[in-house]
Structure 1
Amino acid sequence: MFATFLIGLREGLEAALVVGILVAYLRRIGRSDVLARMWAGIGLAVALALGIGAVLTFGAYALTSQAQEILGGTFSLLAVGMVTWMIFWMQQAGRTMKSSLQGGVDRALEAGTVWALVAVGFVSVAREGIETTLLLWSMSQTFGRDPSVLLGAALGLGIAVVAGWMLSRGALRLDLGRFFTWTGAFLVVVAAGVLAYAVMDLQEAGVIPGPFSGAAPVDAATGVVLTGWAGFPFGWAFDVSAVIAPTGVWAVLLQAVIGFMPHMTWLQVTCWTVYVLVVGFFFIRGARRAHGGSHRAASAAPSHPSSLTPSNPGAA
């Protein structure tokens, strides 16, 4: 519940900020008459995300167990790809998001068609919605469709909507740069856990080699798949089920936060480690560059009060 709460909060706040920028800009330029078209596009984006979630949830029941594992693994990989792209996109485009969205609205208004403005609202929100749906669906598969997964996400999304509305009204001050940096770091670890789960699904389905295939190293006497260094690379990396019960509180908490499972394969551990090291390295480097650029910009800003332009915290 905690992990999906943070995911819902972050992704929901991204979408809420996008909607807030679009709505505020249309009102500022005196085009409140076209807000209904914008909301229509946003509504279609939300419906698409919900529809994808419903198809993935209920459509999977009609598949064989192997097909379900292949589907789960494939869409989990897709979710990891989308989350990774979104993490770095926010680092690069977050500072120009407002001007980019406003430019899209201007072009839609110049086109003078209903569908152009509907498309702006749809595309701006659909990306966030689809990413959130895939990520939450993957996590729900990891936890056996536990209702708390959706409850946490719903709470996070609800708070994000309220926070987005308060930000747009200037009633709430939030360091968005710091917020997205910390939650981005959290998402790197969450995505690594989803990647590890995807690997397990594909191994169980026989798509890639692992403990469930003929490639697994086994004990000659007992036929049991080997664990530890003897099991490298297609056996079990470790098995601490006797210490941490797979269904216990600690196992669930560790799996939700860092993707740890008491019984993991070598391929899972390798993919998790490589993802965290590589993506984490580039994420930290990007965060440092962004922080350095903001510090230099603040240092170069004029210090005389009369030369400063007052800013409205609720302008977005």
Structure 2
Amino acid sequence: MTALFGQIAFVVWRESTEAILVVGILQGWLAHHAGAKAATARSFLWTGVAAGLGGAFLLAGIILFLESLLDGERADYFQIGMAALAALLILQMVVWMHRQGRGLKRDLEHGAERALIAGNWVGLFLLAAVAVMREGSETVIFLYGLLASARQTTLPGTLAAVAAGFAFAAISYWLIHIAAKRFPWVVFFQVSEFLLLFLAGSLLMTALDRAIGLELVPPLSRAVWDTSWLLDDTGRLGGLVATMTGYRARPDLATILAYAIYWIAVLGLLRSPRPHRTQPCP
């Protein structure tokens, strides 16, 4: 449970911090403007935040409802698919932030400025709602993938991890805000992206393990090597490393190939040229 607690807290911390930063950028920009237009803009901004959170909770309800309709192997297939989807979404998010993150603040402020000048309150509402719902929806899918791949979970432990993640996010935003010159928020994204890539690899390995267990994917071989003498993935430390990185002490050939292909894809995507113009996140 310690490893799962850390995973949940980390995901909530990272995604919440990004959402808080987006809202903070917009709110900070509006704070420099006075008058009735700015007051109206702030009300639409926070209404958009509430709508984004509502959309994320709605997605969580839909996922849980769909799971309740399934049983047996169909539920296993659904959970495998969600774990794999979470891994792919993490990879997509990291690649997008790596390419577009440097211009995020500028683009948000330009969008808010256009909305304020034109009185386009719906545009500002959507700017906040889409940003918050994107982060919230990603969090929902990531957490479902983590919980579906876990061997044992408890509601109190899960809620405690989520609360810890929110608390860390608030502290992180405060620290970044007061130390913006010495510790730019881009550094936060660079460090967290590195950790998220390993977490995505772990989710992918868990989905593959379950697919092999259900005979959906052949293992291709028996264990190619055994490093359990050095770090056993069933032990406390090894289990933590396995949960956070996808490490396997006795991997079969299918696992080795999948993990290698994943990291080759990661390196290829991260090294691809950055676009000259910032584009909206899909």
Question: Does the TM-score normalized on the shorter chain lie above 0.5?
Answer: yes
Normalising by structure 1, we get a TM-score of 0.71
Shift, 1:250, TM fit: 3.2
Report how many aligned residue pairs link the two structures.
263
The aligned runs of 1:1-316 (5 Å cut-off) are 1-30=5-34, 31-57=38-64, 59-110=66-117, 112-144=119-151, 146-147=153-154, 148-165=157-174, 167-168=176-177, 170=178, 174-206=183-215, 208-210=216-218, 227-228=222-223, 244=232, 246=234, 248-261=235-248, 265-280=252-267, 282-283=269-270, 285=271
1:161-194, Cα deviation, whole Å (9 max, x unpaired): 24324544x3675332332222211111110111
Distance 1:191 1:22, change over 3 A: same
Deviation of the 1:38 alpha carbon: 1.1
Q: 1:162 to 1:244 in 2, by over 3 A?
A: closer
Query: Which one-letter code corresponds to 2:164 in the other structure?
Result: L
Instruction: Give, in angstroms, the shift of residue 47 of structure 1.
Output: 2.1
TM value normalised by structure 2? 0.79
Aligned-pair CA distance for 1:152: 2.7
Deviation at 1:113, TM superposition (A): 4.8
1:95 and 1:245 mapped to 2: Cα distance? 38
1:145 Cα shift?
A: 5.2
Residues 15/131 of structure 1: CA separation in 2 closer, same or farther (3 Å cut): same
Q: Structure 1 CA distance, aligned partners of 2:101 and 2:54?
A: 25
Gaps in structure 1 of 5+ consecutive residues: 217-225, 230-236, 291-316
Relative to structure 1, the CA distance from residue 240 to residue 56 in structure 2 (aligned partners, 3 Å threshold; closer, same or farther) is: farther
> What's the CA shift for 1:28?
1.4
Q: CA deviation at 1:87?
A: 0.9
Question: In structure 2, what is the Cα distance between the partners aligned to 1:245 and 1:87?
Answer: 27
Distance 2:93 2:70 in 1: 31
Q: For each residue in 1:216-246, what CA deviation from the matched residue of structure 2 results, as whole angstroms up to 9, or x when unmatched?
A: 7xxxxxxxxx6235xxxxxxx86969x9474
The CA distance in 1 between the partners of 2:112 and 2:152, in whole Å, is: 39
Residue 278 (structure 2) aligns with: none
Tell me which of the two structures has the higher relative contact order, counting C-alpha pairs closer than 8 angstroms and 6 or more residues apart: 2
| 3-state SS, counterpart of residue 7 of structure 2 | helix
1:150 and 1:265 map into 2 onto residues whose CA distance is: 35
How far 1:105 sits from its partner (Å)?
Answer: 1.9
Instruction: Report the Cα distance in structure 2 between the residues aligned to 1:18 and 1:261, rounded to whole angstroms.
Output: 37
Instruction: Tell me if the contact between 1:9 and 1:160 (Cα under 8 Å) persists in the aligned partners.
Output: yes
Paired amino acid for 1:151? A
